[in-house]
Structures are given as C-alpha cells and as structure tokens.
Amino acid sequence: MCGLRLLTEGIIGHGTWYDKTARGIIERERKLGRGLDLIRTEMGLGASGLPHIGSFGDAARSFAVTLALKDQGFGSELVAFSDDKDGLRKVPAGFPETTREYLGYPVTNIPDPFKCHTSFGEHMSSLLLEALDKSNIQYNFISATRAYKDGLFNDEIKTILSNAKRVGEIVKEEVGQQRYIKTLPYFPICKSCGRIYTTTAHKYLADEEKILYTCKGMEIKGQWLEGCGYTGEADYRKGEGKLSWKSEFAVRWKALDIRFEAYGKDIEDSVRINDRICREILHYEPPQHARYEMFLDKSGKKISKSAGNVLTPQVWLQYGSSRSLILLMLKRFTGTRELSVVDIPQYMNELDELEDVYFGKKTVENKKELAKLTGLFEYCWWLKPPAEPSVHIPYNLLAYLVKVAPRGKETEFTVQKLRESTRKDVELNDNLRQRIDYAINWNNDFTEIKETPIKLSTEERDALRNLVENLQQEVDEEQIQSTIFNIAKKHNIPPRRFFQILYTVLLSSPEGPKMGPYIVAMGRQNVTKTLTRVLKLN
C-alpha cells in the first residue's frame, strides 16, 4: 500500500533527476541560510582543445538544473566559465604543426590558426558556445582571461596567497602532491617568453601585491618544456597570471557565488581539494556537486573519413536535432557512455516516441514512469513543449528514401514517396525539411556508394538495349513499369532478375523502390545514359 501511495504522491516537479536535484539544492541552501534570490550553477568549458561532446553534456545538464530551480520558483542562472587563460599543453589533432611553438602560452595569447577569431582560445570556446546557442541553452559567459584582468577574483586570490602554506598542506593531504608546499598555487605569465606553465612562483610580497617567479620550465604530458630562465615579478591584480586549478575553482565559487556545479570524474580530485580550500580558507560552503561519468568514443567502429572518429556537438548536429542531443544528455546521468554517430537515429526516434507519450498517443500505465517520460520530454524542450505534435517519420525510412532518390531531388522525391505510401497527408513544413536534411547529410557521409560491377548475358544485354529504345518514347510511370516487365518476359529473363540488374546498375543495390516512377523521377535521359554506359562496358 505504501508503494501505491508513492506512485501517486512521490513525484517531485516533472519527475526527473533535475527536479529532485533542484529540490536538494534548495533545501541545502536553506539550511546554510544563504539567499535564494539567485541560485547560480556553473560549468567549466575548456578552451585548449576541440569541445568534446561531454562538455555539451555538462552544459545541458547544468542548464536543466537551472530550469528546475526556476520551475520551483527561484531565480537561477548558468555561468559558463571558459578556461581560456590555461596554457596550451598539446597540439590538438588536426591543427597545423606550427601550433607547437605556442606550447605553454595562454590560449587567448595564441593567434587563431584558422584566422576567424581573435585567438586560439576564442576559436575553441566559440565552437561549444555555438552548439549551446543552437540548442537554446542560456548562459552567462565569463572568460577567465577577462575575469583575471578585471580583477574579479582579487580578494580571493589575496586570501589564497596569504594562506598558501595551508593550501599546500590540503593538496598534500588529499592527493599527496607536494609541489604546493614549496611553491605558490599561482602561475605567472613569464614577462620574457610569454609562457604560463614554465614559471614557478616562489614568493608572495603581500605589501606590494606581487608575486616573485622564475621561468624554470615544467614537465607537461610527459615532455619537458624548458623555461627561459627569466626571473621577475607579477601583479595578480592586473591578471599577470592565474591560479592553479587546485584553488581556482574554490575562488570562482566564492567570488561568483556558485551553488551547484557538476563535474566529470576525471577532475574528481581537484574538486575535492577545492571543496576543502573553499570551506577552510575562503570560508564559503562549496556548491553542491554531481559527478558524471565520461563519454567514450566507441572503438572499432568505422565512421566517416571526413568526420573522423571524434564525436563533437557539431558532428551530432549535422545528422540529428539539438533536441536529440539534449535527450542523450538528459536521459541518463550515471554510467559511462559509449557513443558514436550511429546512435543518432536512435535518439531521433526516441524523441518522437517521447512526444507520442507526451501527447497521449502512446499509453503508459505506470504513473511514475509516465511522469518521468513526459518530464524528460518537457526538459528536452527546456520546459516549453510544443502545443501540437509533429510529423513522425522513422529516421531510417527517410535515410532510405533519400538514398534511392535521384541526386539533387532528394526532398521532392522523399515527400512524393511518402504521400504515395501510407502518409498521404504529409506536408513539407520546416520540421520535415529539416529531418530530410539530416538524412541527406547522413547518407552523404555514411553510405558508401560503390560501383557494383555486373556481368550480363547476351539475352540480358539485348533486353537492356530494348529498354533503352523504349525509354525514348514511354513517358508514363505505369507504362514504363509494365514495359520493363514485358521486356523481361520477351527476352526470357525472370522479371526478378531483370529488376535486380536495373537496381544494381542504377542504385548499386539489388533492391529498390518501384522502378517506373523512379525512372521518371530520376529523369529518363539520365537513366538511358547510365544504361548505355553499362552496355558499352559489357
């Protein structure tokens, strides 16, 4: 009985993880006695490499929490903090080798190799921001470079530097790293060579607000980066350096008043250290956390040569809608996910299914499950679900129709075929057009079009020749259809075999759509040209 009660009464908000998390945050903040007018969530975005799909997930999930907080009646915003003052540690795949000379430089001080942004760092972070914008994720963007320059963290940096010894101890206690026992958790940018990771900060002059450093060099990703030997001083108030990650998070949390931040398990240690620094040195209760697992590229699956094997948000959005990508991120929070582009159609279809549940076209008995599924759908729409259901056509059907469509006429052909089949009422609106475009991209990139060589017997050659002649006169789809059939009979070829030949020649597949209409759609001239060429080869 108690279980039955839970089914109907135990649902928070829209029944999703995000609603539950939001409630947890609110309860925690109440206990802490902090204000609830603006509850900030934060995500960090890397600017030194191509945005991985995981960064998008970080954003989508944090934004969902932000929406859940608003939904429960509180002010909230998502801060997207770009780590664009970090130094470049390795040349990302696909980048010119000349990038190597900038190893160690803050990424906003490196020219954009593609020349479309003012710096390497801006180029990188804009890639993710574009994907966020396309997905209607709202955020308050803060650049690390800007924040340091504007002195946003000055008070907190001062506190950290004044308590550097304690910071070093905490780091040592948590992960055993001894580096910060001796050096300050701050990386000045070398005034001589311009690099940030080659410097070691050894003294803090509190009265002058300055940090003394030497450009000694450092090991990065197993490679020694030699310093230039310069010794100098940096003024942290002018952004002449940045904090180490092991203290910077804490500073951000306090300065920006962050109450929730999710993180990937790869930075778990850093988060734990920062929690302590935040609490023990900055005297600010750190934000509530949620740890998520990594996204892995499915290995062993050949994808496209052009797309490569890196699944970035940009790649996804070529073949699937932003909502399908959001669904991927929101539906499950835990568990390592192996992903590849071949999963995109599945999520496109799943979103349609969720829509059916939402509009009651598909019944779900269990109330808890119903709440969860409709809730998930609502979050995929950022809590502004559509008033009307949309056209649902399975992705693989569209991909198939596009594949067999005459080149350049994919959309028209597909719509026509759909109308001829069971979907007479189909209308070519933006939604359908977009879906067809995804299928076209999919088809272009993942369907290998190979010329299948075919051997023809004498009768088969004659039959083909006969067909070519007939195609000069026949115009009507149905007539062409029966002509093909008649020619096959006339030349003593089983119709099945004759059709197979035609499909192989025209489509590189032993099967296909109804031939007559297809030939008309493709253009009789094109067909005769192709057939004639094949006849010459035989």
Q: Which residues pair with 223 in a beta bridge?
A: 220
Beta-carbon contacts of 428 under 8 Å, excluding residues fewer than 6 positions away, are: 411, 415
Stretch of residues binding RNA (CB under 7 A), selected from 68-76, 318-326, 428-436, 513-521: 513-521
Min dist. Cβ of residue 249 to RNA (A):
10
Question: CA distances (Å), 391 to each of 302, 355, 429, in order?
Answer: 32, 10, 9
Min dist. Cβ of residue 514 to RNA (A):
3
Stretch of residues binding RNA (CB under 7 A), selected from 95-103, 232-240, 317-325, 508-516: 508-516
Min dist. Cβ of residue 169 to RNA (A):
13
C-alpha atoms less than 13 angstroms from C-alpha of 378 in its C-beta half-sphere: 19
Does 394 help bind RNA (rule: CB under 7 A)?
yes
Query: What are the φ/ψ torsions at residue 41 (nearest 5 degrees)?
Result: -110, 160
Give the whole-angstrom CA distance, residue 217 versus residue 213.
Answer: 11
Give the whole-angstrom CA distance, residue 301 versus residue 340.
Answer: 8
Does 397 help bind RNA (rule: CB under 7 A)?
yes
Question: What single-letter amino acid sits at 264?
Answer: G
CB 235 within 8 A of CB 189: no
Chain positions 248 to 277 lying near RNA, rule: CB under 7 A, are 248, 265-270
What does the block give as tokens for 336? 């390592």
Beta-carbon contacts of 55 under 8 Å, excluding residues fewer than 6 positions away, are: 43, 45, 46, 128, 313
What does the block give as tokens for 108? 């906003």
Beta-carbon contacts of 242 under 8 Å, excluding residues fewer than 6 positions away, are: 85, 86, 106, 144, 148, 186, 187, 196, 248
Does 11 help bind RNA (rule: CB under 7 A)?
yes
Min dist. Cβ of residue 363 to RNA (A):
11
Does 300 help bind RNA (rule: CB under 7 A)?
no
Stretch of residues binding RNA (CB under 7 A), selected from 383-391, 458-466, 510-518, 524-532: 510-518
Binding residues for RNA, rule CB under 7 A, total 76
Query: What are the φ/ψ torsions at residue 193 (nearest 5 degrees)?
Result: -105, -10
Does 160 help bind RNA (rule: CB under 7 A)?
no
Give the whole-angstrom CA distance, residue 212 versus residue 498.
Answer: 84
Does 379 help bind RNA (rule: CB under 7 A)?
no
Stretch of residues binding RNA (CB under 7 A), selected from 35-43, 61-69, 132-140, 416-424: 416-424
Q: Which is nearer to RNA, 154 or 396 (CB)?
A: 396
Does 422 help bind RNA (rule: CB under 7 A)?
yes
Does 456 help bind RNA (rule: CB under 7 A)?
no
**Count H helices, E strands: the chain?**
22, 14
Q: Which is nearer to RNA, 91 or 294 (CB)?
A: 294
Query: What are the φ/ψ torsions at residue 220 (nearest 5 degrees)?
Result: -125, 125
Candidate list 136, 223, 421, 526; residue touching RNA; CB under 7 A: 421
Min dist. Cβ of residue 334 to RNA (A):
5
Chain positions 37 to 66 lying near RNA, rule: CB under 7 A, are none
Locate all alpha helices (DSSP H) within 51-189, ordered by sequence. 53-71, 120-134, 144-149, 154-162, 164-175, 179-182
Candidate list 120, 148, 187, 413; residue touching RNA; CB under 7 A: 187
Min dist. Cβ of residue 33 to RNA (A):
25
Min dist. Cβ of residue 197 to RNA (A):
6
Q: Which is nearer to RNA, 35 or 360 (CB)?
A: 360
Does 226 help bind RNA (rule: CB under 7 A)?
no
Chain positions 309 to 348 lying near RNA, rule: CB under 7 A, are 331-332, 334-338
Min dist. Cβ of residue 448 to RNA (A):
17
